[in-house]
C-alpha cells in the first residue's frame, strides 16, 4: 500500500510536465493578449503626451490673448494721455508764437508725435512745430499730400465734437525707409463755437515703442496691421521658428480702427514634464497592476494555503486513524517521521524516536547488529522484498513483539530518493491466533488419532463379530440337530457333538478377546456432556476456515433459534463435524464447480411421540453428489474414493453417531451436491 | 427334520452369513424363519399391513446397524403401525451398539442380544417372544370376538349386561331399569345366548379379559 505512493507521485509529475506541450494555442493567445495590453498602454501614454501638448498650447495662446488685450489697453491709455497733453497746450489761449514754444517743448517730451499743427476752423495753417528728434518728415513730400487725411480727421472731430483720428498712411523717408503715420485732429472750441483745430501726426512705431512696457516687448513682436494682415508698424524682434503664436485684437479709436497683432515665440514644448507625467502614469498603472497581481496572488496563495491545510488535516486524520505504523527514515538511517500508531506500537513518544542517530530505541539490544547490517544493505540501494519481511521490535517496557515491515523508497517531488518509508504491522495478535489454532489443531489431531484407534477396534469387532456369530449359530444349530436325533448319527454323532461344542467354545473365546480389546480402547466411551450446538461449531470453525480459504469455499452456519444443548462426547462429535465438513469441501474442489458453499445447519427435530428430543446436524455441499455405485458402499470401512484416504472417515463418523444413539444418513442436495445428516440426543435439561 | 412350529420369524440383517446362520439355528429348533437383507425389503413386503393382518404368532430379529434404513428406524416404523405389539422385536447388536439397544428396549423392544453369543439362549428368547406374541394375539382375538358378539345385543340387552357384569342381582337390575324382573330374566338369557356363556360369572370373566 505504502509503496505505491511514490510511484503515483512520479506519474503525476510526468503528467504535469506533458500538459503545457499539449496546449500551445493557450500560450499563443496569452502572448497576444500581453501584446495588446502593451500596445494599449503605449497608445494611452502617447495620447496623454499629445493632450498635454494641446493643453499647453492652449494655455500659451490664452495667455497671449490676454497680453494682447493688455497691450491694446496700454496703447489706448497712451493715446488718451497724449490727447490730454494736447488739450493742455491749447488752454492758455496762446498766440502763435507762444504756442510754438509750448508745442516745441511738448514734442520734446513726446517722441511719437512727428509734427503739431494749429489750424483755423477753415483748416488754414496757423502755426506748426516739427519734432526735434528727426529730420522733418514731410519735407520731401508736400504737406498737401496729407491734406485729405487731415480733412477727414477734422471732419470726424467736428462731427464727434471731440478728438478724432484718420487712417494711417505711409511716409517715405530720406534713407529709403519710411514710416506709417496717423493723423490726429482735436477741435478747438471757445464756448460752443469752433475756433480751430489742433492736428498731430503720430508715428505708429514710436507709439508702440513708448506705450508698451519692456516685458511685453521682450519676447513678443507687436505690430499694427490692416484688416488683411498687412503690417503697418512693427516693434520688437522675434525668432523665426515653428512655435509662433499669434493673437490679434481690434483697437477702436474715434474715426479709425487699428488691429493690434502680437506674435509670440515659444521654445519647443518641454518634453520632459510630459514624459514625467507619462512616467508617473506608467508607474501608477504598473503599481495598480502589481497591486492587482498581488491581490490575485494573495487570493491564490490563501486558496492554496487553505487547500494545503485541508490536505494536511486530511492526512493528519488519515495518519491518526491508521493502525498501521508508519516510519520514514532518511538515507543516513535517521528517523524523520513516525505516526501516532507507530508511537503507540513501540511505546516511545515521537520526540524520542525522531532524529535519533545510531541504533533506534525500539531495536532489541541483542539484534542491534543484525538490524544495522540490514540498514546498511538498504542504504546501499537494495530493494526490500515487496511483500515485506518480519522483524522483532522492542517496546519501551522492554517486551519484544513481532512486526511485519514493508519498505518502499521515499521519493521527493524532484524524483530523488530521500529515504525509506516503512509500514509496520504489529503481528503479535496474528501470531497468537496462529499458535492457538495450531495448538488446537494438534490437540484435535491427537484426539482424532486416539479416536481412530478406538473406532478401528470398534469396526474390527463388528466385522469379526459377524462371522463369529455365524459360526456360533451354525455350531449351536448343529448341536441342536445332533441332540434331537442321537441315534441317527451313531458314534460319529457324539464325536461331532463334541467338536461342535469346541467350535462354539472357540467362537465364544474369540468373541471375548474382541470384547476385551474393544472395552479396553473404548473405556472413555461413556463421557457425555451437554454442549450448546453453537459451541461445537465455534470449536471447529477456525479449522474449517483454514481449509475453506485454500479451496475458496464460503462457509455458512445456521443454528436454529432455541435449539437445546446436545448430550454427547464433545471431542468425538467435533471430529465427526470436522470430518464431514472436510469431505464436503473436498467434494467441491473441482474446477467445474463455481459456487462453493458449505452449509452447516443445526435444528431440533420435532418430537415424534417418544420422550426423547433429538437434534439434527446437517452438512451440505454443492459438489457433484455421490455416484450410485459409491452410495452402496459409502459407509463400508476401508472403502474410499480418495487416493490417499484410508476409507475410515465416514464409517468412523457413523460409529460415533450410533454410539450416541443417533443415525448418520446422506441424501442428495438439490439441484446438486450432497447433504450428510446425523442426529444426536438433546440434553434432558433443556 | 421335525414338523415346524406354526410361527413366523423375520430375520432382518444385512450380513448374509449371519442371516443364514440364524435361520439354520432356528430351523434346528423347528422354527421356520423368513430372511430380509434390509429394512427396506421388509417394509416392501409389509407395506400397508396393520396390526390385524398377522394372525400367526411372530417375532423379529433385527440388526441395529444396516446400510440404508437402520434397525432403529425400522423399529420406529413398526411402532407407528402398532405392529410391535403383535411382533416382538429382538435387536441383534455388536458391542458398540449396546447403549442403543438398551434404549430401544426401553421404548418397547422385546430384548436385545449381543453378537456373537446368541445360539440357544437366543432361540429361547425367540420362543418366549413367540409366546408373548401368541398371548397378545389371543387377547386381541378374544377382544375381537367379544366386540363381535356385543354388536348383536340390543340397546336394552347391553344395559342389562353392563349391570350383570357389575354384579347386580336381577331384582336390582329391574329396579334400576324400571322394568319387571321377568323382563330382566328374558334379557339375561338372551345376553347369555348371544355372548355364548352359561353364567354371569363366565360373562364377567369374558368381559374382564377383553380390552374394554
Mean predicted lDDT score pLDDT of chain A: 80
How many domains is chain B built from? 2
Beta strands B5-12 and B31-36, pairing class: parallel
Asked if residue B69 is part of any domain, the answer here is yes
DSSP string, A548-591: HHHHT-EEEEEE-TTPPPEEE-HHHHHHHHHHHHHHHHHHT-ST
Comparison of pLDDT for A636 and A168, the residue scoring more: A168
Determine the Cα–Cα distance for residues B3 and B174; give it in Å rounded to an integer.
56
Q: Is residue A14 over pLDDT 90?
A: no
Total Cβ atoms within 10 A of residue A398? 9
Comparison of pLDDT for A65 and A658, the residue scoring more: A65
Name the percent of chain A lying above pLDDT 90: 6
Co-location of B41 and B99 in the same domain: yes
Domain boundary residue, one of B119, B140, B161: B140
Co-location of B109 and B14 in the same domain: yes
Q: Is A632–B116 a contact, with Cβ atoms under 8 angstroms apart?
A: no
pLDDT tens sequence across A379-398: 777 777 777 888 888 888 88
Q: What residues of A are in contact with residue B119 (Cβ under 8 Å)?
A: 472-473, 475-477, 504
**Chain A stretch 655-674, residues whose beta carbon is closer than 8 A to a beta carbon of chain B:** 655, 658-659, 661, 663
pLDDT score of A270: 66
Please give the residue range of the domain that contains residue B93: 5-140
Q: What residues of B are in contact with residue A659 (Cβ under 8 Å)?
A: 96-97, 99-100
Beta pairing partners, A225: A231, A259
Q: Is residue A6 over pLDDT 70?
A: no
Q: Is B64–A658 a contact, with Cβ atoms under 8 angstroms apart?
A: yes
Asked if residue B148 is part of any domain, the answer here is no
> What is the mean predicted confidence (pLDDT) over A289-318?
90
DSSP summary character for residue A670 = S
Co-location of B12 and B66 in the same domain: yes
> Confidence class of residue A374 from pLDDT cuts 50, 70 and 90?
confident
> Confidence class of residue A127 from pLDDT cuts 50, 70 and 90?
confident
Comparison of pLDDT for A322 and A145, the residue scoring more: A322
pLDDT score of B211: 39
Interface probe for A, chosen from B2, B21, B32, B112 (most Cβ of A below 10 Å), is B21
pLDDT score of B96: 61
pLDDT tens sequence across A71-82: 889 888 988 888
Compute the count of residue pairs across chains A and B with CB atoms less than 8 Å apart. 113
Q: What residues of B are in contact with residue A517 (Cβ under 8 Å)?
A: none
> Confidence class of residue B1 from pLDDT cuts 50, 70 and 90?
very low
Comparison of pLDDT for A627 and A459, the residue scoring more: A627
pLDDT score of A600: 92
Asked if residue B146 is part of any domain, the answer here is no
DSSP summary character for residue B110 = -
pLDDT score of A39: 92
pLDDT score of A120: 83
Q: Is A476 on the interface with B (CB under 8 A)?
A: yes
User: With a cut of 0.90, is the ipTM above it?
Assistant: no
Q: Of B15, B25, B117, which has the smallest distance from its Cβ to A466's Cβ?
A: B15
Q: Is B65–A658 a contact, with Cβ atoms under 8 angstroms apart?
A: yes
Determine the Cα–Cα distance for residues A455 and B153; give it in Å rounded to an integer.
65
Domain boundary residue, one of B98, B117, B140: B140
Task: Reduce the secondary structure of A174-220 to three states and give it as a string.
Answer: CCCCEEEEEEEEEEEEECCEEEEEEEEEEEHHHHHHHHCCHHHHHCE
Asked if residue B50 is part of any domain, the answer here is yes
Q: Which chain B residue lies closest to A632 (C-alpha atoms)? A: B67
Co-location of B129 and B161 in the same domain: no
Where b means 16+ CB within 10 Å and e means fewer, A366-379 reads ebeeebeebbeebe
Do the beta carbons of residue B122 and residue B102 sit within 8 Å? no
Determine the Cα–Cα distance for residues A333 and A355; give it in Å rounded to an integer.
9
> What is the mean predicted confidence (pLDDT) over A661-681?
85
**Chain A stretch 482-521, residues whose beta carbon is closer than 8 A to a beta carbon of chain B:** 484, 504, 507-508, 510-511, 514-515, 518-519
Full-prediction pTM beyond 0.80?
no
Delineate the domains of chain A, giving CATH numbers in brackets. Answer: 61-265 (3.30.450.20), 322-426 (3.30.450.20), 432-525 (1.10.287.130), 529-681 (3.30.565.10)
Co-location of B127 and B173 in the same domain: no
Cβ-defined contacts of B96-100 (< 8 Å, 24+): B96/A458, B96/A461, B96/A462, B96/A518, B96/A522, B96/A655, B96/A658, B96/A659, B97/A658, B97/A659, B97/B64, B97/B65, B99/A659, B99/A661, B100/A658, B100/A659, B100/A661, B100/B64, B100/B72
Co-location of B10 and B103 in the same domain: yes
Closest CA–CA distance from residue A679 to any residue of chain B (Å): 12
Q: Is B100–A661 a contact, with Cβ atoms under 8 angstroms apart?
A: yes
Asked if residue B28 is part of any domain, the answer here is yes
pLDDT tens sequence across A180-224: 888 888 888 877 788 888 888 888 888 888 888 777 777 788 888
Q: Of B73, B94, B107, which has the smallest distance from its Cβ to A465's Cβ?
A: B94
Closest CA–CA distance from residue B90 to any residue of chain A (Å): 15
Taking alpha carbons only, the member of B63, B89, B10, B6 closest to residue A465 is B63
Determine the Cα–Cα distance for residues A60 and A47; give it in Å rounded to an integer.
20
Co-location of B177 and B123 in the same domain: no
Asked if residue B145 is part of any domain, the answer here is no
Residues of B with CB under 8 A from a CB of A: 2, 15, 17-18, 20-22, 24-29, 64-65, 67, 70, 72-73, 76, 79, 92, 94-97, 99-100, 103, 107, 115-120, 123
Query: What's chain B's length in residues?
Result: 212
What's the Cα-to-Cα distance from A311 to each of A187, A300, A303, A422, B108, rounded to whole Å? Answer: 108, 16, 12, 21, 81
Q: Of A458, A634, A661, which has the smallest distance from its Cβ to B99's Cβ?
A: A661
The backbone torsions φ and ψ at residue B7, rounded to the nearest 5 degrees and listed phi first, read -160, 155
What's the Cα-to-Cα distance from B167 to each of B162, B185, B203, rounded to whole Å? Answer: 9, 15, 10
Q: Is B21–A663 a contact, with Cβ atoms under 8 angstroms apart?
A: no
Residue appearing with cell numbers 515487496: A386
Co-location of B84 and B33 in the same domain: yes
Co-location of B54 and B12 in the same domain: yes
Would you call A439 helix, strand, or coil by DSSP? Answer: helix
> Confidence class of residue A619 from pLDDT cuts 50, 70 and 90?
very high
Check which CATH number belongs to the domain holding B71 and give it. Answer: 3.40.50.2300
Q: Is B120–A473 a contact, with Cβ atoms under 8 angstroms apart?
A: no
Q: Is A478–B27 a contact, with Cβ atoms under 8 angstroms apart?
A: no
DSSP string, A337-380: EE-HHHHHHH---HHHHTT--SS-TTS-GGGHHHHHHHHHHHHT
Q: Is B73–A469 a contact, with Cβ atoms under 8 angstroms apart?
A: no
Co-location of B88 and B173 in the same domain: no
Check which CATH number belongs to the domain holding B183 and give it. Answer: 1.10.10.10
Beta pairing partners, A235: A222
Co-location of B32 and B121 in the same domain: yes
Element (H, E) at B32: strand B31-36
Asked if residue B175 is part of any domain, the answer here is yes
Amino acid at each position: 500500500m505504502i509503496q505505491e505512493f511514490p510511484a503515483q507521485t512520479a506519474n503525476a509529475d510526468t503528467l504535469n510536465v506533458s500538459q503545457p506541450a499539449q496546449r500551445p494555442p493557450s500560450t499563443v493567445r496569452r502572448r497576444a493578449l500581453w501584446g495588446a495590453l502593451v500596445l494599449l498602454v503605449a497608445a494611452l501614454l502617447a495620447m496623454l503626451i499629445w493632450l498635454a501638448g494641446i493643453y499647453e498650447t492652449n494655455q500659451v495662446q490664452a495667455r497671449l490673448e490676454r497680453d494682447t488685450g493688455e497691450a491694446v489697453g496700454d496703447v489706448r491709455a497712451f493715446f488718451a494721455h497724449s490727447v490730454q497733453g494736447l488739450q493742455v497746450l491749447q488752454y492758455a489761449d496762446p498766440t502763435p508764437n507762444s504756442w510754438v514754444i509750448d508745442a516745441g517743448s511738448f514734442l520734446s517730451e513726446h517722441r511719437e508725435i512727428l509734427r503739431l499743427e494749429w489750424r483755423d476752423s477753415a483748416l488754414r495753417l496757423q502755426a506748426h512745430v516739427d519734432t526735434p528728434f528727426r529730420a522733418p518728415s514731410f519735407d520731401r513730400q508736400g504737406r498737401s499730400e496729407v491734406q485729405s487725411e487731415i480733412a477727414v480727421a477734422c471732419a470726424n472731430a467736428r462731427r464727434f465734437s471731440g478728438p478724432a483720428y484718420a487712417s494711417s498712411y505711409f511716409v517715405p523717408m530720406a534713407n529709403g525707409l519710411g514710416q506709417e503715420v496717423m493723423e490726429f485732429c482735436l477741435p478747438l472750441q471757445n464756448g460752443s463755437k469752433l475756433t480751430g483745430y489742433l492736428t498731430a501726426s503720430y508715428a505708429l512705431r514710436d507709439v508702440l515703442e513708448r506705450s508698451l512696457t519692456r516685458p511685453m516687448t521682450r519676447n513678443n513682436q507687436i505690430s499694427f496691421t490692416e484688416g488683411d494682415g498687412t503690417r503697418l508698424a512693427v516693434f520688437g524682434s522675434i525668432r523665426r521658428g515653428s512655435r509662433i503664436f499669434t493673437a490679434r485684437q481690434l483697437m477702436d479709436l474715434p474715426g479709425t480702427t487699428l488691429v493690434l497683432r502680437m506674435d509670440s515665440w515659444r521654445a519647443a514644448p518641454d518634453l520632459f514634464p510630459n514624459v514625467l507625467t507619462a512616467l508617473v502614469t506608467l508607474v501608477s498603472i504598473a503599481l495598480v497592476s502589481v497591486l492587482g497581481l498581488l491581490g490575485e496572488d494573495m487570493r491564490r496563495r490563501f486558496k492554496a494555503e487553505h487547500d494545503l491545510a485541508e490536505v494536511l488535516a486530511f492526512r493528519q486524520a488519515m495518519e491518526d486513524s491508521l493502525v498501521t505504523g508508519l516510519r520514514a527514515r532518511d538515507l543516513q538511517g535517521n528517523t524523520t517521521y513516525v505516526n501516532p500508531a507507530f508511537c503507540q506500537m513501540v511505546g516511545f513518544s515521537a520526540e524520542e524516536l525522531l532524529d535519533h542517530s545510531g541504533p533506534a530505541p525500539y531495536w532489541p539490544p541483542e539484534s542491534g547488529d543484525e538490524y544495522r547490517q540490514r540498514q546498511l544493505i538498504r542504504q546501499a540501494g537494495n530493494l526490500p522484498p515487496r511483500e515485506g519481511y518480519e522483524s522483532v521490535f522492542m517496546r519501551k517496557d522492554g517486551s519484544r513483539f513481532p512486526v511485519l515491515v514493508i519498505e518502499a523508497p521515499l521519493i521527493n517531488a524532484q524524483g530523488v530518493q530521500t529515504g525509506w518509508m516503512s509500514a509496520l504491522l504489529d503481528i503479535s495478535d496474528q501470531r497468537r491466533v496462529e499458535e492457538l489454532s495450531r495448538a488446537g489443531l494438534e490437540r484435535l489431531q491427537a484426539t482424532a488419532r486416539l479416536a481412530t484407534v478406538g473406532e478401528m477396534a470398534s469396526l474390527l469387532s463388528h466385522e469379526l463379530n459377524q462371522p463369529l456369530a455365524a459360526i456360533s449359530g451354525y455350531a449351536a444349530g448343529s448341536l441342536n440337530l445332533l441332540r434331537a436325533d442321537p441315534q441317527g448319527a451313531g458314534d460319529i454323532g457324539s464325536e461331532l457333538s463334541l467338536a461342535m461344542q469346541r467350535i462354539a467354545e472357540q467362537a465364544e473365546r474369540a468373541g471375548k478377546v474382541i470384547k476385551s480389546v474393544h472395552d479396553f480402547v473404548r473405556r472413555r466411551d461413556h463421557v457425555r456432556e451437554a454442549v450448546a450446538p453453537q459451541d461445537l461449531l465455534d470449536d471447529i470453525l477456525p479449522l474449517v476456515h483454514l481449509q475453506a480459504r485454500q479451496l475458496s469455499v464460503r462457509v455458512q452456519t445456521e443454528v436454529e433459534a432455541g435449539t437445546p444443548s446436545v448430550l454427547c462426547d464433545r471431542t468425538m462429535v467435533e471430529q465427526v463435524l470436522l470430518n464431514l465438513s472436510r469431505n464436503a469441501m473436498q467434494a467441491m474442489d473441482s474446477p467445474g464447480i463455481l459456487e462453493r458453499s458449505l452449509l452447516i445447519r443445526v435444528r431440533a427435530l420435532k418430537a415424534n411421540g417418544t420422550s426423547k428430543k433429538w437434534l439434527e446436524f446437517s452438512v451440505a455441499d454443492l459438489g457433484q453428489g455421490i455416484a450410485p455405485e459409491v452410495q452402496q458402499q459409502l459407509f463400508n470401512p476401508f472403502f474410499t474414493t480418495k487416493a490417499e484416504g484410508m476409507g475410515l472417515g465416514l464409517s468412523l463418523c457413523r460409529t460415533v453417531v450410533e454410539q450416541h444413539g443417533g443415525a448418520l444418513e446422506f441424501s442428495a442436495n438439490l439441484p446438486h451436491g450432497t447433504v450428510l445428516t446425523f442426529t444426536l440426543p438433546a440434553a434432558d435439561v433443556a | 427334520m421335525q414338523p415346524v412350529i406354526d410361527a413366523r420369524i423375520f430375520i432382518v440383517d444385512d450380513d448374509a452369513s449371519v442371516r443364514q446362520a440364524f435361520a439354520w439355528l432356528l430351523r434346528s429348533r423347528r422354527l421356520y424363519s423368513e430372511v430380509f437383507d434390509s429394512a427396506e425389503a421388509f417394509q416392501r413386503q409389509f407395506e400397508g399391513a396393520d396390526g390385524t393382518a398377522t394372525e400367526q404368532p411372530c417375532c423379529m430379529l433385527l440388526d441395529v446397524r444396516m446400510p440404508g434404513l437402520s434397525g432403529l428406524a425400522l423399529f420406529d416404523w413398526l411402532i407407528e403401525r402398532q405392529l410391535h405389539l403383535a411382533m416382538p422385536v429382538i435387536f441383534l447388536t455388536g458391542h458398540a451398539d449396546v447403549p442403543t439397544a438398551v434404549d430401544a428396549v426401553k421404548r418397547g423392544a422385546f430384548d436385545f442380544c449381543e453378537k456373537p453369543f446368541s445360539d440357544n439362549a437366543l432361540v429361547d428368547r425367540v420362543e418366549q417372544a413367540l409366546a408373548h406374541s401368541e398371548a397378545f394375539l389371543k387377547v386381541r382375538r378374544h377382544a375381537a370376538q367379544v366386540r363381535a358378539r356385543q354388536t348383536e345385543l340390543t340397546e336394552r340387552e347391553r344395559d342389562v349386561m353392563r349391570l350383570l357384569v357389575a354384579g347386580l342381582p336381577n331384582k336390582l337390575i329391574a329396579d334400576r331399569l324400571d322394568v319387571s324382573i321377568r323382563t330382566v330374566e328374558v334379557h339375561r338369557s338372551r345376553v347369555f345366548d348371544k355372548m355364548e356363556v352359561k353364567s354371569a360369572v363366565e360373562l364377567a370373566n369374558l368381559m374382564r379379559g377383553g380390552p374394554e
